[in-house]
């Protein structure tokens, strides 16, 4: 948090714009000069820039729009549960055992669907954390890792060598 607040939202917004413009430039050059070998390198590099642009966009929204901050934090606290629920929702929408809409929505409808699912999950996560402190998948993972029903680590025993006397 200190890293983001020290740099501030204007830096994040400018970085997001710069990354998006450079990706657009690389894609245009690749389309116009497709016979040149060097444009493929820029196009390949631009594929790594797009996720960075998304990260900076979300971080700038997180800094500047304080109204969405609790919802983004709630999604982060329930990340495993949200990931599993999103997978269940999307496979039900796209695979044959559900609606079978794979390849039929288009890009724009897919973006709206993804934003809708994320918004619903963010709202549900926020409401869930009002009552409980940890998600169901996170609780199950802790129970498996710590081998306890409570999901909390066991107390350590004081069986150290410093307590025993050596004679």
Which residues of the chain are under the pLDDT cut of 70?
A: 1-13, 15-16, 20, 30, 34, 36-43, 157-167
**What pLDDT is attached to residue 51?**
80
Condensed to tens digits (0 to 9), the pLDDT of residues 1-35 reads 444 455 555 666 676 677 767 777 777 776 777 67
Q: How many CA atoms lie within 13 A of 140 on its CB side?
A: 6
This prediction's pTM: 0.64
**What pLDDT is attached to residue 157?**
66
* Biggest alpha carbon–alpha carbon distance for the chain: 84
Domains of the chain: which residue ranges? 1-65, 69-154
Query: Which residue's entry shows tokens 């983004």?
Result: 72
- C-alpha to C-alpha distance for 82 and 89, rounded to whole angstroms: 10
């Amino acid at each position: 948090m200190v890293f983001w607040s020290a740099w501030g939202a204007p830096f994040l917004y400018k970085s997001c714009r710069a990354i998006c413009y450079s990706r657009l430039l690389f894609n245009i050059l690749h389309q116009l000069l497709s016979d040149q070998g060097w444009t493929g390198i820029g196009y390949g590099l631009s594929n790594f820039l797009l996720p960075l642009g998304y990260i900076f966009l979300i971080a700038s929204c997180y800094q500047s729009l304080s109204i969405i901050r609790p919802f983004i934090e709630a999604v982060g606290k329930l990340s495993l549960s949200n990931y599993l629920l999103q997978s269940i929702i999307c496979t039900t929408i796209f695979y044959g055992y559900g609606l079978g809409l794979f390849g039929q929505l288009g890009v724009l409808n897919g973006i709206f669907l993804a934003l809708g699912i994320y918004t619903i999950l963010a709202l549900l996560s926020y409401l869930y954390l009002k009552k409980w402190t940890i998600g169901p998948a996170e609780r199950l993972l802790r129970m498996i890792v710590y081998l306890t029903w409570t999901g909390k680590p066991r107390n350590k025993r004081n069986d150290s060598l410093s307590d025993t006397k050596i004679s």
